[in-house]
Chains A and B, each alone.
Chain A
Amino acid sequence: MKSAIRYLLFVFLAVMITGCMNDYSSKPVCRVENGRIIFKLDKRWSDQEMKEILSQYDLDSSLVAKAYSGKGEVMIDSILWKYRTVNPFFAELSKPLDKRSGDFLQKNEVLIINDSWIRKPLFVESAPVVSGLNSFRRRGAFKYENEVAQFFLPNYKDASNIYLSGTFNDWSTMQSPMTACDSGWILRISLKPGKYLYRYIVDGKWGTDPNNELQERDDERRNNSVVFCYNHRFALKDKTEAKKVIVTGNFTNWSRDKFPMERNSNGWSLDLYLQEGTYAYKFIADGKWLADPANTDNRKDANGNLNSFFSIGELFTFRLSDYLSATKIILAGSFNKWRQDELVMTRDNTGWQLPLALAPGNYEYKFIVDGDWITDPANPYKTGSGDYTNSFMAFKPNHTFVLENYSDAANVNLAGSFNGWSADSYRMVKKDGKWTISLYLKPGKYTYKFIVDRKWILDPGNEIYEANEYGTNNSVLWIEQ
């Protein structure tokens, strides 16, 4: 009888425990109760699961180990954590909710979240395109000549206003109004060669270009029209008897069909957008491959095939005067990842020179004269200090920083969001009593300060500044498109 009661008691207890465990296992990993965050830990998690959960909730692994050791409290970084073992499988960790957690939710404050929280990335920069060809359903819908683009949207007679908005005007909804003409709406704007995304805004409503077949989805899953402003024309003067001529090259992975040429009065031609760089190409006339007969830069590849070459982008000629007795001078810089064997300079009557195709930007460089690294004696602009001093140049700079009235300062440096606030990377140069440095800066916002003999100051010539976390303010500069 006793054993029967014992047995029943055991069964009852077992049922109770299992019941409790089931109830507990249905609880979520993280919950909030009575002002505390409670984490449920499960001993049966694999190492991988445990690792993921720890990172998801930003938890300390040593705390987790403690939670299975019974019941107690532990202070970490002035936060009192409580832990308890619930049953053989589960343990709990808890801490009070951060009292400051809502402090940023003030009146008239916007709430900005971390991009990483959102499952899809917010800012997907479209991959740089090597080459591009437009595809318009209607010939007049887009024209590009002499760096002027003409956008034409036919019809919409009843619209009261139409704007063009795109990457070229920073998606402005007010800057580029179109003009009504008898058959539609038209706008001419200056554009550099490149790839652009755009949409039309008809009486406040966004829409893609109905005559443009090229579209790209942005990160908000909205469609944009895509247009290329061309910077290169392929032309083949002969082969008028051919039925089909294709241009191909390393810019299109030597595709045999992507870029068919158009027939004109004296041969074949095709306009394309190509990003800056050096390209090899060939024509395919009715299946037969041929190098460009009009190109003087035809070179044989390793297999003996003759390819035509050309470059897009402007050249900058680096010069080093004198050193005529040197046997080998190499140019190395941030433009070629400081490789010491690539850019061999050529000697002429007065020194050494090397033309190099560069994208607009800010570069550091040095010359290697028979193994000795030297800065450019003809360039006063330098970055860094001591042994780490390099020459500095901006190719196609679009902004000049000027500091006046500090002519007796010994050193003035420029630090800002463009150089990671490095205090010694951009040294300004004194000329006619003013300190200056020119930079190439992409469109967007920059914050900066001058460092005059180690003292950080705002730009006295710029009245735009904003608060920083140190309460000392930073100057603000916007570079427009």
Chain B
Amino acid sequence: MRLVFLYRYFLPFFLTIGIIVSLSFFSSPYEVNSTVSGISSSSEYTGPFSEPDDAKPSIPAETDVLTIPLKNAGRLFMIEAIIDNQSGNLIFDSGATGLVMNRTYFRKYVKTDIQNSNGITGPVAEVETINLGKVNVSGLTFTNIPASLADLGHIENRRGIKVLGLIGFEYLRDFEIVIDASNNELQLHRIDSRGNRISETVRSFQPDITQPFEVVKNIVFLKGTIGGKMLRFCLDTGAETNVISSHSSKTVLSTISIDRKSNLSGAGQNSVEVLFGIMNDFNFGGHQLKNMEAIITHLDALNEAYGVQIDGMLGYNFLAKGAICINFTKKQFGMKFLKTELK
């Protein structure tokens, strides 16, 4: 499995020039016995290119922290945005590799690149890239940045809210990111080159637990255990529920009480059968997290897209357990649980 590992703003350059950096440790099967401290920090490609300054996301000059209010639509988190004079919402989706715009509102843009995604599992589709002029994401601004196009009308129709697109970590990773779901806040803290917060006045994040994390294509992968087995989860703020891979071992699956079998529809009209249940033995950083809902389904397309074996996804239920802090410079994940979770 080839692995394209991209560095933040170089996405378009890399896509077009096609620099591929294979990282051997991702292609090896994941060691279930490895300890959390044993994760090697991923080496990032830092190319010789100079970053286009205007593509760099910026927050108002006088502030060291930008707090972005999040809105809810179902269990999705939305950020209001104005993109080239169109106002609407971006779904805050840490499972999105970059900016993905809704074709409904951006179809007239000039396509700067068209690539075929030839998935084994997924449908063959063209991925079109456009260039956005001026982007204002609730105070976080940047100009002249690439984005891909996708049909997102079904999300609008299901959740009744205008969706301009999806935004993942790609344009946030220069900041220390705090997601406080219970207060509906996304905080972006300015950090220095070593990843420390610049501001003296803002109290640093006080996590109950920390763990180093892996990054592939701006997606954060975390470790958790089920039934004593250590598993790799992708952190996905765009998932209304957690997911456990149906390929998981019997030990893992036996800890999940399955509440119902039901049909779920994604994009388009095809509905598929999924199992919905509770992860009864989910341990995260030494904390047993209760009432973690999950669907059991295969994750083949994502495994293929990211070139890593993914055992599950941590979505809304996980985020609702407290506030989380992600620092891409330090490759450090922190979580502060709600008081009710620590009882």
What residues of chain A have their CB less than 8 Å away from a CB belonging to chain B? 28-35, 37, 56-59, 97-115, 117-118, 122-123, 160, 163, 165, 171-175, 201, 203-206, 220, 222, 417, 444-445, 447, 463-467, 469, 476, 478
Contact = CB atoms under 8 A, between A and B. Distances in A.
Given A31-B253, A122-B75, A106 B301 contact: yes
A79 B259 CA distance: 21
Contacts of B296: 32, 97
Contacts of B253: 31-33
A476 B66 contact: no
Nearest to A58: B261
Given A103-B121, A204-B185, A111 B298 contact: no
B238 A110 contact: yes
B69 A105 contact: no
Question: Top 8 A-B pairs ranked by shortest CB distance?
Answer: A204-B67, A104-B266, A466-B153, A102-B298, A110-B238, A98-B273, A111-B239, A107-B305
B5 to A, nearest CB: 15
Contact of B104 (A30, A173, A204, A464): A464
Nearest to A34: B250
B183 A206 contact: yes
Interface in B120-166: 121-122, 138-139, 148, 150-151, 153, 155-160, 162, 166
B41 interface: no
B74 to A, nearest CB: 5
A339 to B, nearest CB: 33
Given A110-B166, A110-B238, A222-B184, A174 B138 contact: yes
A417 B154 CA distance: 13
Contacts of A464: 104-105
B248 to A, nearest CB: 8
Counting chain A CB atoms within 10 Å of each CB, which of B104, B293, B305 scores highest?
B104
Contacts of B305: 106-107
A99 B272 CA distance: 9
A56 B260 CA distance: 5
A103 B304 CA distance: 12
Given A111-B236, A111-B239, A122-B75, A174 B80 contact: yes
B293 to A, nearest CB: 8
Nearest to A103: B272
Given A105-B302, A108-B148, A469 B87 contact: no
26 contacts: A32-B253, A56-B260, A57-B260, A57-B261, A58-B260, A58-B262, A104-B270, A106-B301, A107-B97, A107-B306, A108-B96, A108-B100, A108-B150, A109-B266, A111-B236, A111-B315, A112-B240, A113-B75, A165-B69, A173-B69, A174-B138, A205-B185, A206-B69, A417-B157, A445-B156, A463-B108
A102 B247 CA distance: 11
A447 B157 contact: yes
A402 to B, nearest CB: 21
B4 interface: no
B240 A101 contact: no
A173 B67 contact: no
A172 B78 CA distance: 10
B70 to A, nearest CB: 8
Given A97-B275, A122-B75, A203-B67, 15 more contacts: A31-B254, A32-B296, A100-B273, A107-B306, A111-B236, A112-B155, A117-B260, A173-B71, A204-B68, A206-B185, A445-B157, A465-B104, A466-B151, A466-B156, A467-B103
Given A101-B274, A102-B298, A104-B272, A30 B97 contact: no
B162 to A, nearest CB: 6
A206 B72 CA distance: 13
Nearest to A104: B266
A107 B301 contact: yes
Contacts of A476: 104, 153
B158 to A, nearest CB: 5
Interface in B38-89: 60, 62-63, 66-69, 71-72, 74-76, 80, 82, 87
A110 B93 contact: yes
Nearest to A99: B298
A166 to B, nearest CB: 12
Contact of A105 (B62, B105, B299): B299
B187 interface: yes
